[in-house]
Amino acid sequence: MIEFRGGAPTRHRFAIIGFPWDFGASLGRPGARHGPEEIRRSAAWNLNRIRQDRVWDVEGGRIVDLSAVEISDRGDVPISAHDTEATFGRVQAQVAEALAEQQLPIVLGGDHSISLPPIRALAAVRERVGIVQLDAHLDLVDFDPRQGSFSQSSQIRRALELPQMDARRLIQVGLRGLNYPEMHDFCRAQGITQLTAAEALDAGAEAVAERCLTVAGADGAAIYLTLDIDALDPASAPGAGAHEHGGLTPRFVSALIRRLAPTVEAFDIAEVNPLFDVHGMTANLASKLIWDLILARV
Ligand SMILES: [Mn+2]
């Protein structure tokens, strides 16, 4: 649907992988399973602005030649609702295949638990990984009797356990709201870098991007970028699994993604929830940010 082929050299290859999974939305709102469909619909609209393989990237201030770009939509990964590990395994295999074909995986969630298999896939082929997490929340729960260990609140905690990962290469941007006091101590002890939404907005996208590249990319690590749409303020992203006010702006996240895009090796966007969206504006925002990522790499 958003497929576009121009006969591309490797650097400009992208794989869209839908992961319509919201069984990890144990405390947030279910409905993110409809995210991939709506994000694709919104992203495809922009294809009509392409003329003879060229498009005007208005914010980037240039005409981009897309003849060297290949976007391959691998469709949605089949879900086995009763079997998290089997489903996650399929996603990991899809992402591994994309990486092997030198495509940048763009995984469309799904609740935020969807990040774990693509992070595993990247870790499997790289000696070290680092994570840039744009999120209102920490997602560092080890175990919760209601949520278990693989929910939308635990995927980053599970990722920290990978031998290729080190908590000192995790940077979380956009944090806010209230959280468990023991989490405060855990984050400090682990050496996780954290920027609240207010700190990030005050510092500006350029400075935050530098920080992300330094922290997540330390020791030559491959950078995984995950965007929980609730990193953005609910005024801009009402179709989200949970709302925390005082969030990042579309302009800030767009600038940050454009700055990080050339360096990241895999990307996901999670928690877009069409059941709570307003006139598709959150899916539209997600598709805009995906185009930002693509255009900034070309
Ligand atoms: Mn999250």
Compute, in degrees rounded to 10, the torsion defined by CA atoms 151, 244, 231, 175: -90
Distance 69 CA to ligand 1 centre (A): 30
Residue 1 tokens read as: 């649907």
Distance 114 CA to ligand 1 centre (A): 10
Distance 1 CA to ligand 1 centre (A): 27
Question: In total, how many domains does the chain have?
Answer: 1
26-55: average pLDDT? 94
Distance 140 CA to ligand 1 centre (A): 9
Distance 50 CA to ligand 1 centre (A): 33
Q: What is the pLDDT of residues 206-239, one digit of tens each?
A: 999 999 999 999 999 999 999 999 999 999 999 9
Name the residue type at position 43: A
Distance 62 CA to ligand 1 centre (A): 33
Q: What is the pLDDT of residues 102-124, one digit of tens each?
A: 999 999 999 999 999 999 999 99
Distance 218 CA to ligand 1 centre (A): 23
Q: What is the pLDDT of residues 68-91, one digit of tens each?
A: 899 999 999 999 999 999 999 999
pLDDT at position 28: 83
Residues whose CB is less than 8 angstroms from the CB of residue 184 and which lie 6 or more positions away in sequence, other chains included = none
Distance 167 CA to ligand 1 centre (A): 17
Residues whose CB is less than 8 angstroms from the CB of residue 215 and which lie 6 or more positions away in sequence, other chains included = 130, 168, 169, 170, 171, 193
Judged against a pLDDT cut of 60, whether residue 1 lies above it is answered with: no
Distance 54 CA to ligand 1 centre (A): 35
Distance 157 CA to ligand 1 centre (A): 11
Judged against a pLDDT cut of 90, whether residue 9 lies above it is answered with: no
Among candidate residues 207, 242, 218, the one with its CA nearest the CA of residue 111: 242
Tell me the HSE value of 205 on the side-chain side, using a 13 A CA sphere.
14
Mean pLDDT over each residue of the chain, to the nearest integer: 95
194-201: average pLDDT? 98
Judged against a pLDDT cut of 60, whether residue 6 lies above it is answered with: no
Name the residue type at position 15: A
Residue 148 is part of a domain; what is its CATH number? Answer: 3.40.800.10
Distance 13 CA to ligand 1 centre (A): 27
Whole domain around residue 18: which residue ranges? 4-297
9-13: average pLDDT? 73
pTM of the complete model: 0.96
Judged against a pLDDT cut of 80, whether residue 8 lies above it is answered with: no
Distance 65 CA to ligand 1 centre (A): 34
116 sits in the region (left: phi over 0; alpha: psi -120 to 50; else beta) called alpha
Compute, in degrees rounded to 10, the torsion defined by CA atoms 279, 269, 265, 47: -20
Distance 111 CA to ligand 1 centre (A): 8
Judged against a pLDDT cut of 70, whether residue 97 lies above it is answered with: yes
pLDDT at position 26: 85
Distance 273 CA to ligand 1 centre (A): 13
Distance 139 CA to ligand 1 centre (A): 6
Distance 222 CA to ligand 1 centre (A): 21
Distance 217 CA to ligand 1 centre (A): 21
Give buried/exposed letters for 227-248 (b at 16+ CB in 10 A, else e): bbbbbbbbebbbbbbbbbeebb
Distance 134 CA to ligand 1 centre (A): 8
Distance 202 CA to ligand 1 centre (A): 22
